[in-house]
Structure 1
Amino acid sequence: MQHRRPRPSKKTKALTATVVALAAAAGATVAQAGEESKKCTAFDTVTLGKYYVNNNLWNQEKATGGQCVWDNSRSGSTISWGTDYSWANSGSGKDYDVKTYASSVLGWHWGWKVDKATTGLPIRVGDRKPVQTAWDFSVSANPGTMNVAYDLWLHTKNTADWQDQPTDEVMIWLNRQGGAGPLGTKYGSVSLGGAMWDIYQGDIGWKVYSFVRRTNTTRAALNLDDFTQALVRRGLLSDDKYVSGIEAGTEVFKGTGRLDTEAYSVNIG
């Protein structure tokens, strides 16, 4: 099953470099409003330290329904947040179309919403900086078609802004439900982080590489540099590219469900 990735919309491009003042010093726990203060408008965001949660409804014109996000907490570089949704196809919408990708964002997403200096990005692939990430979550799809995945954006320069289309996108699928499948065709497989992954490659105006875990999980402790280096070794990605953005969330094709992130962090270097 194939899906297309988002092209920048006017609302996405409108992200600014506004720095949101934090209510506590770095490293302190910041209590948040939680599920009772859901944000349900397309491209609503919640800033959590160096990250922000984005209600990215980039393809909602192909569906009827809705989706919300909310924040729970932040402690240092670890955040907790959630999303729930209910979507059905409408108009030209098909089962294989991804409708939304509510996600946490670190760094670039057609611009910089959080002060760039706080994100640790971009990083040059060839510099081999470790990108340690941990993600504990629960997921339900009743019924539905969706995945839970990381999404990395890459550019040829370290000064990418809202107008710069990525050259490469790297997805890392941890969990999929209802027959969800990646873009493109299978290239091969690799063992990373204690699991086997099938590698897919496609092209939608930029290269898309998807690592699909052979067995579902709801917990990850990965070095994302291992995945970009797996592509470098296969001659699929050049090591002079820059990782500009790192996202983590759920792509929804259709159905009703939710994703609850109990703890999520990314630490670079």
Structure 2
Amino acid sequence: MTDIIDGNAVAADVRDGLGDAIDTLADADVTPSLATVLMSDDPASETYVSMKQDDCEEVGIDAIDIELDPDAPAEELYDTIDDLNDDPEVDGILVQMPVPDHVDDRAVLRRIDPLKDVDGFHPENVGRLVAGNARYKPCTPHGVQKLLAAADVETDGADAVVVGRSDIVGKPMANLFVQKDEYGNATTTVCHSRTEDLAAKTRAADIVVAAAGVPEMIDGDMLSEGVTVVDVGINRVDADTEKGYELVGDVEYESAKEKAGAITPVPGGVGPMTRAMLLWNTVKAASLQHDVPVDLP
């Protein structure tokens, strides 16, 4: 029997587990707060921000919603970030990506105070992650670690293949796998668009994390028996449905499920964990900035 790793259930456990830490902060008269900044009229981005706001309210985190005109000068976004950096009532800052073309996204990431960078993308936080002393782990790779732990998947000594080398998922995921740490210690291969014979790499893996953004690029023929498959991809493809599309991962689920010992579905796998770990990072940010130690789940 293949273990279907339920991201919704694991994410709910993480959110529930944050309750004690939030209560500890409340005893010190601290309420964690997250500011989300949206500079886009893209419906998907608007939905993502709304969901994050709802998540905050559900667990007791103050949600600060800031929306900027997508046609406004880049300086308006930079000034907004500066104001949030200086505001002691704001613990975490998340600028929803993508930003408009006239805004330098890397400048945005550098602008955020590293202590308030709950995405974990500021160069200082990236450096700390690579050095093995992470302040905030990027939400999606951290969520993958939590899913593997919940499914009792052993990473110590395992051969892990990460398909994709993005700054958001692929690179930090590989760095977490190789760390001399819990849920690390894996022998890790990073595959990408220039990799030759991808199937040979994935067939040799004990754990495959698919994060390339290519619909159903990995199928069962590319996997070994008993492999753990974590599908980070979420792709909209045309389909004969009421909406005219369906969401699929980077893995062809039905054939992969026949080979896998454990697998995450799409949707309902990694996605809920990304949101849960944002809350986790926000609570940690409040703990660090207000010097109130907490136990995190």
TM-score range (shorter-chain normalised) is under 0.3
Task: Pick the structure with more helix per residue.
Answer: 2
Identify the structure with the greater strand proportion: 1
TM-score, length basis structure 1: 0.26
> Which structure has the larger Rg over C-alpha atoms?
2
Q: Which has the higher contact order (CA 8 A, sep 6+)?
A: 1
TM-score (norm 2): 0.24
